[in-house]
Structure 1
C-alpha cells in the first residue's frame, strides 16, 4: 500500500449507495461512516471510490449528519476471467472493461463488502463468480485488500469452495459477520486469521420518525423476491412455509386489530417489473388492506431506517430492514429465508424471536410472530441490552482492527 500518510485512495467494492435495494445502500453508507471514524482516529484521509454503483460520477454522500465526497464507478460483471476477456473484445470502450483494471490499479487499498450476503452460491453460481471476480483481481494485482463484514458461504459447489479459498487466502484482513460465516472461512482456511463481528449496517445513523395517534405502529416489510418464489420463481430458497399465505395471514391478523396502525414498508425499491422489487407487491396488497399505511419510496437507507425507527413493532423478510429495526431499538420478528438471518440474529446477537421460513410451517411462523408482538415491551428491553453488550463493543473492535491494519500498511 502506498500513501503519503495524509490521503489514501480506497476502493470499496460491491458498495452502491444509489442501489434500490436499500440493504446494499445501507452497507455502502455504513462502510463510509466506519472509515470516516478510522480517519478521525488515525489522521489518514480517504479518497473514496465506491465500485459497483448503478451510476458513475462524483457526488456527496449525505448521512444526515455530514456530507462525504465519493466517486462512484459502474462495474463490468465479468463472472470469471474468460467472460471478462470476451466482454473486453466485444466492447473494449465500455466502462468497466479494460478501464476496470486501470481503475483498480489506482487504489492504495481495496475493501470488498460483497453486497453483504453475496459471497456464496445460494443465489446461483453466476452471482458468486461476479463477487469472486473482484477478489481474484485484487489477488492478481497484489493489492492490499480487506474483506469487510459479510456472509461467507455456504458453498454448494466445489468451484465456489475452491475459488473462495484461493481469494480469501490473499486477503490481509477478513471480517465474517456471523458465526456461521466465521466457521465456513476457518474450515476453508484453517490457518488464516478471521475476525468474527456484525453487519456494518448496525452503525447507520437515523432520526426517528414520530407518527401521530395512539395506535400501536406495526411495520411489515413484504419481500417481492420471496413473494415470487425467488429469482427462479419455483421456491428457489426451499421454504417450508408458504410465504404468500404467511404474509396474508399476518396482514389479516394485524389489520383486524383496532389498536394497530399497519404500515407496509418496501426495502427494495426499483423497477416494478423485477421480481426482486417490493413496491409492486405492496401496491397490490394496499388495495386489499385499505386501512394500511404505505411507506414512502425512500431515497436513501437513512430515510428508511428513520421511518422504521418510528415503529412499535416490526416484521419482515429483508434482513437489512430487520437490522434497521433492531439497531434503532424496535422489537422485531425477522422471517429468515437463509442462514444469514440465523447466524446474525440467533448466533451472534442471541436474539431468538425469529421465524425460520425454511424449517417452520406457516402456522408456526404466525404463532411466533404474534407471541413476539404481545411481548414487544420485553423484547425492547432485550434489544437495549444487545446494543449495549454486543453492538457498541463490536463497532469499537472493528474500528480498532481497521485502524491498526491501515496504520501498519499505510
Structure 2
C-alpha cells in the first residue's frame, strides 16, 4: 500500500452563498502513482475540503473516479434503507475516534470482496461447499424447519469495510487503518414451506444481550481472518457493532459498542460501550425520556398549525449520545400550497426553530409537499440559520 506521489493542481469551481458551508480555497491534489517502471501511471485525487460543522473526511479518488466497494451491494438485501444510511454515516463518525479527519482520507473498503462477504454472512456448515466460512450459527436440531431456525436465528446481517489512507512526509500514500462495522439483527425474518409448496413467513425476536455477545465473538473471528491478508497484517483496526431496528421502524438502529485494535495485534482486549439512541417526535417514549424537548416540539407544531390555521404533518427524529441531543431532523409533509405561502412558512419556521430548540446540536428542517422538496432550514449551534427555498 506504499505509493509514491506527486502533487499537481486542478481546477474546481463551487459557488456558495449565505451560510452554505464553504470550500477551502487550497489546491486540489492529484496524486500520480508509479507502481513500477513498467506500469502505467495512475492518478489519485484527494477531494477538496468542504468546511462544514460535520467536518467530513476528504476522499481518495482513483483515476479521478470514486472507488466503490465490491461488497457494497449486499447491504440492499439484508438491511432496511433507514438502517443502511445510519450504519454508514455512523461508522465514519466512529472512525474519527481513531483516525483524525485532518490527517486521513476516506476510501470504501477494497479488501473484502463481494463473494467473500457472501460466504461470511452464511450459516456455518463445514460439510457444505461455500458454507465453511459462515459466521452465522449452524441450524439447530429440531422436529421442523421452523423450530430449527427459531433455535438459532441469524444474527450477523452485514459487514461494512471502510479504509483510511494518509500521505507520508516522503509523499507516499499508505493505508492507515481499517474500520469494520458489524450489523446485527434484532429480529430474524425467515420462511418455511409445506409439502404442497406453500410459503409461510416467520419472525423471531433476538435478545439484545445475546446479539451483542455473539457480535463480539464474530468480531474476534473476523479480525483473525483479515490478519491473514498480508496487506492487513499490521494496520490498526477499529470494529463497531450496530444493532438494527425491526422492519418498518420509523427510526434507525444504533451502534452499541466498539473496539480499537493496534498495529500487529490479533486479539481484541476490551470493548467500549456506545450510548446512542434515536427518538421519534411526537411519541410517548420521547415524552418520558426527554420531556423538555418533547414539549418544545409540541409547542413548535402547535404554532405551525396556528400559522396555517389547520393541522400540518410534522414529525421529528432526535439522535442522542450519552443522553445529550446530537442532532434533530424535522420533516414537513404538505398538501396544497402556494409559493408565497411556502416562503412565509419557511421564514416563520426559521424564527421558531431558533427560539424553541436548544442551541446545542444541529437542527435540520425539510419542508416537502406532494410536488417534492419545497424548502430547507439548517440551524447549527452558534450560527445563523441557513435557509433555502426551492424554485
Name which structure has the greater RCO, CA cutoff 8 Å, separation 6+: 1
Give the structure with higher Rg (CA): 2
- Larger strand fraction of residues: 2
TM-score by length of structure 2 reads: 0.29
